[in-house]
Amino acid sequence: MTEATHRAAVLGHPVAHSLSPVLHSAAYRALGLDRWEYTAVDVTEERLRGFVDGLDDAWAGLSLTMPLKQVVFELLDHVEPLAEVVGAVNTVLFQPTGSGRTLVGANTDVHGLVAALREGLGSGPGERPVVSAVVLGAGATAASTLAALAELGCTSPTVLVRSLGRTGGLQRAAHRMGVTPRFELLDPATARVRDVDVVVSTLPSRAADPVAEALTAHAAAGGPAPRGVLLDVVYDPRPTALSRAWAAGSPDREGLVVGGERMLLHQAAEQVRLMTGQVAPLAAMAAALEEALAPSVAGA
């Protein structure tokens, strides 16, 4: 009997830029899952229900990016507690049942954030405790960041936002988590980010550039460098202006910057585990990701 094909995909709008197919496909190759396929499909909020309803029994799961992480809730039969409290689902698992299938929503962004931050903090017995933290931004990734910081020991971070009037969703998520963030305006941010254990920027590409410029100006005036670990979830361009400003001045400081691709890697690894039931081959996935992100060689 021919082995059945298993399918999975990342959905979003737009989604052509997604590196999830690179990561998942590399995992399938390393695990010898020759009958597994992973693609990217552009799906809007309006088309999501119709797309999911049209999937057959070959589908094992879906990865979700914006703008689908909240709207998918109404399609799910069960939501795992972490995804429920964060208010964002980035993973849908298709579980066969006697009468069909059950759609389960999960969140692997928190896992990805915790694992990426631990790389900067130092894993194992020497891991630095997170007492103070700053989060830039108030979207879905910021909610996952609050959960990740709480897991690392910080339940009262400062959240810097461009508009206090657009923090309602994050404030509700924080209340569900039992964390008590302090909300302040993003400008001026330099003093807030220089003296904390962890800073996580969840802002879109280049939106954190003004913070980078302020840090650079502060350093040029002889001010001290930031002391904590920075995770900028953006990985294009790489390194970001914020990452360059954070690491400036000493090669040793480069270890205090964690690129957003590391969060992407770890959250995808957890998705692979949930969808296939096998431990994700992290090294193979990381190698494929680095190759995909490497600058193209002229003339190649």
- What is the rounded distance in angstroms from the CA atom of residue 234 to the CA atom of residue 243? 10
Do 131 and 241 reside in the same domain of the chain? yes
Does 128 map to a domain?
Answer: yes
Q: Are residues 136 and 240 in the same domain?
A: yes
CATH of the domain at 18: 3.40.50.10860
Catalytic residue from among 6, 7, 24, 69: 69
Q: Which residues of 98-122 are buried (b: 16+ CB within 10 A; e: fewer)?
A: eeeeebbbbbbbbbbbbbbbbbbbe
Q: What is the pLDDT of residue 4?
A: 64
Quick one: what percent of the chain has pLDDT higher than 70?
A: 94
Query: Are the beta carbons of 75 and 49 closer than 8 angstroms?
Result: yes
Whether residue 300 is contained in a domain is answered as no
> Per-residue pLDDT for 45 more than 80?
yes
User: How far is residue 65's CA from residue 243's CA, in Å, rounded to a whole number?
Assistant: 23
Establish if 299 belongs to a structural domain: no
* 134 and 255 belong to one structural domain: yes
Name the more confident of 220 and 23.
23
pLDDT value at residue 283: 98
More confident residue, 224 or 282: 282
* pTM for this prediction: 0.93
Q: Which residues sit opposite 100 in a β-bridge?
A: 97
Q: Which residue reads 């108030």 in tokens?
A: 138
CA distance 114 to 108: 10
Q: Read off the pLDDT of residues 272-283 as tens digits, 9 standing for 90 and up.
A: 999 999 999 999
A 10 A CB-CB count for 127 gives 13
Instruction: Give residue-wise pLDDT tens across range 151-204.
Output: 999 999 999 998 999 999 999 999 999 999 999 998 866 778 989 999 999 999
Going by C-beta distance under 8 Å and a sequence separation of 6 or more, which residues neighbour residue 189? 134, 136, 160, 210, 211, 214
- pLDDT band of 3, cuts 50, 70, 90: low
69 labelled catalytic: yes
2 — pLDDT class (breaks 50, 70, 90)? very low
Whose tokens are 């499909």? That residue is 41
Is 96 within the bounds of a domain?
yes
In this structure, is the dihedral angle defined by the CA atoms of residues 149, 189, 140 and 247, taken in order, positive or negative? Answer: negative
**Are 72 and 131 members of one domain?**
no
Q: What is the pLDDT of residues 96-134, one digit of tens each?
A: 887 789 999 999 999 999 999 999 998 555 567 899 999
Residues 87-91: what's their mean pLDDT? Answer: 96
Residues 193 and 99 reside in one and the same domain: no
For the record, the structure tokens of 211 come out as 């913070």
Indicate if 14 and 135 belong to the same structural domain: no
Say which CATH number the domain at 220 has.
Answer: 3.40.50.720
Indicate whether 114 and 234 sit together in one domain: yes
Q: Are residues 221 and 132 part of one domain?
A: yes
154 and 281 in a single domain? The answer is no
183 and 40 assigned to the same domain: no
Residue 226 contacts residue 199 (beta carbons within 8 Å): yes
Please give the tally of structural domains in the chain. 2
Give the residue numbers spanning the domain of 205: 110-261
* Shared-domain flag, residues 281 and 234: no
* Tokens read off for 128: 């630095």
**Do residue 221 and residue 250 come from a single domain?**
yes
